[in-house]
Structure 1
């Protein structure tokens, strides 16, 4: 794609990177075949190719974002299926992230939009605040139908009937390896996940310890910055990421930073790019280089065979894992290794509609994608659905009676850990 940025514009590292990405695009349109929002809406401007045109015009002119451009950028899930499909290697993730930061700086949203986005950024990354918000949402359920906006209704509907108690595992501490110590790793404990399903971190720690890992929960660890980053709140997300970078490096020598929420993993692995021009560049690149999804790490160090449980597991591939990190086979291979029968849904490359805060900010499109995903999963007649991302688990779980659990919970159970609570009713 031909671009027309001035030399002054290209002196800005963000615009220079956008220029590289734009020039790689050859307009082939392969991305439209795998774009979930395009499949639902059928509008070229709601495809990656269409958004690339809009972003190019917005950035080249340097004008503030307009309502039309913002509408189509907001409808992007950042599922990154287009990056898996693209034959030209267009790094759409960096482009859409830069575009969202430009929107945040130059476009004044309607009041309700501003309030909702502010609330999400100030609540979801903080487990204590998030738990309070979920309690408030539960109280609002009886009057949810009277709320004036679909997004408010979606936020109320997200609240689970019962909130689990916080886990003691999430506070800063060191868990000794069981037996000989073979590895020393830090665990990214997440934010919303701690409030919604603390069993995931507990299962991760148990499994790693049995495999000879000393597991460190560093001091001062918080949100990885993903949520704010994908809403264009760059200074906020960078501050959160910088705190985590310093926390990991202060934890002492590490063999890996383990991440069991794939949405976080995609962002942490991109820290090197996020901080490439700042004083934390080397430290950020170091942490990014240590980051591994739990399934990647388990595949690297070796997982013993498990006791077959006789369960048929439908594996849902989270977009942030299969597209954002290109981790595609490890979770399935591990589940098979420990004795589960693993099946996959049709169109497994398509998003479930969760996508961070997308299901709250774009509830209609998200609901359509959820219905499609649930239908393809249930068509395989599974006894359990496994996923590697808390957002996907909540999204899919709200549309099916089939239990939804994290992949690591099944791996822990099959290799000596307790049965996941969500499977209590299964034989």
Structure 2
């Protein structure tokens, strides 16, 4: 694709990166076949190819409107198009650049600004989100059906192992997962403890930065990234990995090195943190044999929903299914398992109509597997899917934890 960037961005790091990405696109349209919003809306501008044209026009100095912003907002950033693209177009990064430019030029309505402010300030702070969630759970019977739909059932924290091991790994607590599903990291700690690894969290680490970044507060997101790097840095010489139990966080932390590449203070540290980052499903396959000896037989099949942030964002595929099958489980994938469930961070709150259509479509396909339980690898997907079904939905590590009887 030929480009002629406008002076305001030409020669800048953002401009150079965007130009490189745009020039890789050959207009083939393969991406539209796997884009969830294009499938729902049938509008070229609500598919990756159309959005690429919109971003190109913006970067070349064309007028920017609220309509341009809407089409970019409606993108889930699932990055399915990246997995499909034969030319390797890094659409996710281009979308970030385009949204940042548009955000500076289009003033949102007051209600939209308020909603986005509440989301980024409330959900990215564990000390704010968890108490607010608890109040909502107590008052759940008094709330509207729409609000009840967003509130997960109360889940109690479970104990962490107390043994110390020579092998140690860090884990990210995150912002919403400790409140919504406090057992996930505890289960991961118990399973790793069973194979001789100590898992621990750095006290001052928090939100990975994705929430603010994808709400177009990109500098605020980078501030969260810097804070996490500062929290983890004292431990980098003594740990083997920084383990992610939420694939949405993992997809972002793995990009710290790129997102802070032009920060003279943090660039080198960010690259080191990204290199240390692993999804939990990349750690445990090395212990398949040991876990298989510990695991009790689980007769019922399970349906696995691979999050977009794992299979497309991190390009990690087959690890969860392979591990669960090694433990004797029958794992079933639904039709269109490559497509997004509609959670996508705050997307389900900002675009509920599209999000619920994608959720219900995903749940129908998962129900068609006949499995009585659904497992996934990201707290957003788990909460979103659970809100639309009576079928239990949990993190796959919680199932492994029960199977090996580590608690």
Fold similarity call, TM over 0.5: yes
Call closer, same or farther: CA 1:136–1:23 in 2, change over 3 Å: same
Distance in 2 of aligned mates of 1:402 and 1:143: 23
Call closer, same or farther: CA 1:415–1:177 in 2, change over 3 Å: farther
Distance in 1 of aligned mates of 2:18 and 2:398: 40
Match in the other structure for 1:210: 194
Match in the other structure for 2:154: 163
Where 1:255 maps in the other structure, the secondary structure is coil
- What is the CA-CA distance between 1:83 and the residue it aligns to? 0.3
TM-score of the two chains, using structure 2 as the length reference: 0.94
TM-score of the two chains, using structure 1 as the length reference: 0.90
Match in the other structure for 2:246: 261
Where 2:45 maps in the other structure, the secondary structure is helix
Tell whether the 8 Å contact from 1:382 to 1:402 is kept in structure 2 after alignment: no
Match in the other structure for 1:28: 28
Tell whether the 8 Å contact from 1:261 to 1:390 is kept in structure 2 after alignment: yes
Pairing partner for 2:271 from 280, 285, 290: 285
Match in the other structure for 2:224: 240
Tell whether the 8 Å contact from 1:387 to 1:407 is kept in structure 2 after alignment: yes
Match in the other structure for 1:5: 5
Tell whether the 8 Å contact from 1:263 to 1:320 is kept in structure 2 after alignment: yes
Structure 1: 4+ residue segments shifted above 6 A: none
Distance in 2 of aligned mates of 1:136 and 1:365: 28
Matched ranges for 1:68-147 at <5 A: 68-138=67-137, 139=139, 142=142, 144=144
Match in the other structure for 1:251: 235
Pairing partner for 1:316 from 286, 305, 317: 305
- What is the CA-CA distance between 1:165 and the residue it aligns to? 4.5
Where 2:336 maps in the other structure, the secondary structure is coil
Distance in 2 of aligned mates of 1:214 and 1:143: 41
- Render the CA deviation track for 1:290-331: whole Å, top value 9, x for unaligned: 100000111245452122211210010100001001111000
- What is the CA-CA distance between 1:102 and the residue it aligns to? 1.9
Distance in 1 of aligned mates of 2:289 and 2:181: 24
User: Is 1:195 aligned with 2:179?
Assistant: yes
Aligned length: 401
Tell whether the 8 Å contact from 1:98 to 1:232 is kept in structure 2 after alignment: no
Distance in 2 of aligned mates of 1:323 and 1:40: 20
Match in the other structure for 1:149: none
Match in the other structure for 1:346: 335
Distance in 1 of aligned mates of 2:148 and 2:104: 29
Question: Please, which moves more after superposition, 304-313 or 266-275?
Answer: 304-313
Distance in 2 of aligned mates of 1:137 and 1:87: 46
Distance in 2 of aligned mates of 1:289 and 1:302: 24
- Render the CA deviation track for 1:30-67: whole Å, top value 9, x for unaligned: 0000000001111110000000000111122075x410
Call closer, same or farther: CA 1:386–1:232 in 2, change over 3 Å: same
Distance in 2 of aligned mates of 1:76 and 1:90: 16
Call closer, same or farther: CA 1:24–1:249 in 2, change over 3 Å: same
Distance in 2 of aligned mates of 1:43 and 1:299: 42
- What is the CA-CA distance between 1:143 and the residue it aligns to? 5.5
Match in the other structure for 1:273: 258
- Render the CA deviation track for 1:221-252: whole Å, top value 9, x for unaligned: 11110111111111110000001011111124
Distance in 2 of aligned mates of 1:227 and 1:303: 37
- What is the CA-CA distance between 1:255 and the residue it aligns to? 0.8
Tell whether the 8 Å contact from 1:103 to 1:232 is kept in structure 2 after alignment: no
User: Is 1:296 aligned with 2:287?
Assistant: no
Structure 1 gap ranges (5+): 146-152, 419-427
Where 1:61 maps in the other structure, the secondary structure is coil
Distance in 2 of aligned mates of 1:295 and 1:84: 19
- Render the CA deviation track for 1:243-289: whole Å, top value 9, x for unaligned: 10111111242210000000000000000110111121110000000
Tell whether the 8 Å contact from 1:175 to 1:216 is kept in structure 2 after alignment: no
Call closer, same or farther: CA 1:240–1:96 in 2, change over 3 Å: same
Structure 2 gap ranges (5+): none
Matched ranges for 1:319-334 at <5 A: 319-334=308-323
Call closer, same or farther: CA 1:44–1:260 in 2, change over 3 Å: same
- What is the CA-CA distance between 1:416 and the residue it aligns to? 2.6
Where 2:394 maps in the other structure, the secondary structure is strand
Distance in 2 of aligned mates of 1:107 and 1:401: 42
